[in-house]
């Protein structure tokens, strides 16, 4: 069953601020989350119970899975150097 992808307002702004080529790359990674919630390379964030991250080049996509709603909520998108701050 496919999950819907929801972007939190900050994540949406962060995505729009990226270059078009990187936006496309991130959107492709987001679409893979619809069918595979834990793709290869996913890591659970330490210190957070429900947050995970996947890579998209030098960028990280931080998200949480809402099983009751069948949704993936993307919380943050950013450069690997700054996204965890």
Q: DSSP state, 7?
A: E
In sequence order, the 6+-apart residues with CB closer than 8 A to the CB of 85 are none
Residue ranges making up the domain that contains 20: 4-79
DSSP codes joined into one string, 15-57: HHTS-HHHHHHHHHHHHHHHH-SS-TT-EEPTT-SS-EEEEET
Please calculate the CA angle 42-80-6 and round it to the nearest 5 degrees: 60
The dihedrals phi and psi of 26, each to the nearest 5 degrees, come to -65, -40
| Residue % of the chain over a pLDDT of 90 | 73
Q: How many domains does the chain have?
A: 1
The answer to whether residue 36 is domain-embedded is: yes
Q: pLDDT tens for residues 38-49?
A: 888 899 999 888
The answer to whether residue 84 is domain-embedded is: no
Q: Give the residue-averaged pLDDT of 62-66.
A: 94
The answer to whether residue 75 is domain-embedded is: yes
Q: What is the CATH number of the domain that holds 25?
A: 3.30.2310.20
pLDDT band for position 14 (50/70/90)? very high
The answer to whether residue 85 is domain-embedded is: no
Q: What is the pTM of this model?
A: 0.90
User: 45 with 38: CB under 8 angstroms?
Assistant: no
């Amino acid at each position: 069953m496919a999950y819907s992808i929801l972007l939190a307002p900050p994540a949406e702004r962060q995505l729009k601020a990226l270059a078009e080529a990187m936006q496309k790359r991130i959107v492709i990674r987001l679409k893979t989350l619809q069918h595979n919630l834990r793709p290869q390379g996913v890591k659970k964030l330490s210190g957070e119970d429900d947050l995970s991250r996947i890579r998209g080049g030098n960028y990280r996509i931080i998200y949480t899975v809402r099983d009751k709603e069948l949704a993936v909520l993307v919380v943050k998108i950013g450069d690997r150097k700054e996204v965890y701050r």
